Structure 1
Amino acid sequence: MLTSIAYGLAILLNLFIIFIGVRFLVVPQAAAAGYGVPAREVAFLSVKGVRDLSYGLIGLALLAFVGATAGAWFMLVVALVPLGDTLIVLRNGGTRATAFGIHFATAVTVLISAALLFAA
């Protein structure tokens, strides 16, 4: 049961970040508004889209081809990204609600996913 939950949450999180990456590539301005900091440079938004899309695909590949432990280490390291995003939003005029309600909460969820994968 724990293994199913661990893999399910990890797969869901990786699919979600793939969705976010694609959104930054397809509708960059709307995605930036959802991120919490307005951005004017489409090139920057495309870089973020490629980054997020790649992280999601790497996470899925690790889970599928290597296993839970590799996926757990990946999730543990990748949790730094939403923690950094929290600081970026706070330092650039975004709201605390967005910084903590979206980005920090995502970091906590990714850390929970890592812990579940380590336990699986």
Structure 2
Amino acid sequence: MTVVAYALAVVLNLFIVYIGVGFLRRPYRAAAGYGVPATQDRAYLEIKGIRDATFGVAGLAVLFFAGAHAGAWFMLAVTLAPLGDTVIVLRHGGTKAVAFGIHFATAVVMLVSAGLLFAV
């Protein structure tokens, strides 16, 4: 179970780094994938990119330097981000499929990851 717990946490953190870099490289395309297309305010899209990349790098650092339990608390805390993203997509005209199929599902997987890390 230890390998699964660490592997899932690492994959989630690397994936959010990937999402963050996507928002920095192609912010409008990434915004469409997020569920709320944007036509302006590139700075805010880049802020999201930095936020996501930072969460991923911080999560990896916590996991590797502070251990599984600290990583679990980190994953639990940052689950607020995809839960908030779910609400944002719904409030701004995005589809329920994207809100729940991407953002809410991500929050659920993050909670599973936190649970596995707590069990290590």
- The TM-score by the shorter chain falls in which range? over 0.9
What is the rounded CA distance, in whole Å, between the counterparts of 1:51 and 1:59 in structure 2? 12
Q: Please state how far the C-alpha of 1:38 moved relative to its aligned partner.
A: 1.4
Whole-angstrom CA distance in 2 between matches of 1:41 and 1:7 = 37
In 1, Cα distance between the equivalents of 2:76 and 2:53?
A: 18
**TM-score (norm: length of structure 2):** 0.98
Match of 1:24 in 2: 23
Instruction: State the distance in 1 between where 2:63 and 2:52 align.
Output: 17
- Residues in 1 aligned to 2:67 and 2:82: alpha-carbon distance in whole angstroms: 23
What is the TM-score normalised by the length of structure 1? Answer: 0.98
Map Cα deviations across residues 7-44 of structure 1 (whole Å, 9 max, x no partner): 00000000000000000000101100000001221000
The gaps in structure 2 that reach 5 residues or longer are none
- 1:117 maps to 117
Farther-moved stretch of structure 1 (8-17 vs 35-44): 35-44
Deviation, structure 1 residue 5: 0.2
CA distance in 1, matches of 2:71, 2:114: 7
Unaligned runs of at least 5 residues, structure 1: none
- What percentage of aligned pairs have identical amino acids? 66
Partner of 1:33: 32
Matches within 5 A, 1:1-120: 2-39=1-38, 40-120=40-120
Runs of 4+ in 1 over 3 A off after TM superposition: none
* Aligned CA-pair RMSD: 0.4
Cα distance in 2, alignment partners of residues 13 and 95 from structure 1: 23
Distance 2:89 2:83 in 1: 10
1:54-102 CA-partner distances (Å, limit 9, x unpaired): 0000000011111000000000000010000000000000000000000
